[in-house]
Amino acid sequence: MRRFDRKTAGNSKRGFSLAELMAVVAVMGLIAGVVAVDYMASLPRAELNSALHDIAASVSGARSDSIARNGEFRIYYDLDANSYFISSPYALGGGQAQSEEDRLIVKRVLLPDSISIERVSVDGYDYTEGRVFVSFSPVGSATGHTVYFVQAPMESVTTVEVLPLTGLVRFHDGVYLRDEVTEEDFD
């Protein structure tokens, strides 16, 4: 029979060796690296989606405000400043704006550095620089236009189309050109 010795019972090794701890740290580092790479890869797409949903909300909001407030709201696309803003037909102190400069700015959006407005197409004319505006009437119609957004790292293009009669917004991957309506379309 073995005798129980208190001195040897307390000396048994407990815990992890340095090699085991280093292996666990290395595995955790690899997992963290994979997660970080995946996150960084999805960040540009999330930034583009956010910008596209914001422009769609701005278009819908401008159209709704023009109907509800019985006035012509406008969205100005500033291609040089890579931004857009919404103006109301009213002046800051109230009442109708008497000039373009008096119009109250309702919302101003500066796009992220990785996303730019390449061009805006209004009534068949393409604008690649300067400032262009589209309007929303109190009856709910809109100036039909198309905005081409480019995302810098991949140079991918997304087209945002605003339909003229309804003001509805449609998204298209790549450059999208709507076919012209002909008489045969109504047969």
How far apart are alpha carbons 21 and 87 in whole angstroms?
A: 61
Q: What is the DSSP letter of 140?
A: S
Q: How far apart are CA 26 and CA 20, in angstroms?
A: 10
Domain boundaries 16-186, corresponding CATH code: 3.55.40.10
Q: Could you state, in order of their start, the residue ranges of all structural domains in the chain?
A: 16-186
DSSP H/E element including 33: helix 18-68
What is the per-residue burial (b if ≥16 Cβ within 10 Å, else e) of 61-72?
A: bbbebbbeeebe
What does the angle CA 42 – CA 44 – CA 47 come to, to the nearest 5 degrees? 110
Contact 132, 83 (CB under 8 A): no
Pairing of strands 156-162, 145-151: antiparallel
The secondary structure of residue 123, as a DSSP letter, is T
Return the residue matching tokens 């129980």. 4
pLDDT in tens, 97-125: 888 888 989 899 999 988 999 999 998 89
89: alpha, beta or left? (left if phi > 0; alpha if psi -120 to 50): alpha
By the 8 A CB rule, do 83 and 108 touch? yes
Task: Using alpha carbons, select from 23, 116, 28 the residue that is nearest to residue 77.
Answer: 116
pLDDT tens over the chain, length 187 residues: 566 555 555 555 677 788 888 888 888 888 877 766 655 555 667 888 889 999 999 999 999 999 999 999 999 999 999 999 999 999 888 888 888 888 989 899 999 988 999 999 998 899 999 999 999 999 988 999 999 999 887 788 999 999 888 888 999 998 888 777 677 766 6
User: What's the pTM?
Assistant: 0.73
* Whole-number Å distance between alpha carbons of 75 and 67: 15
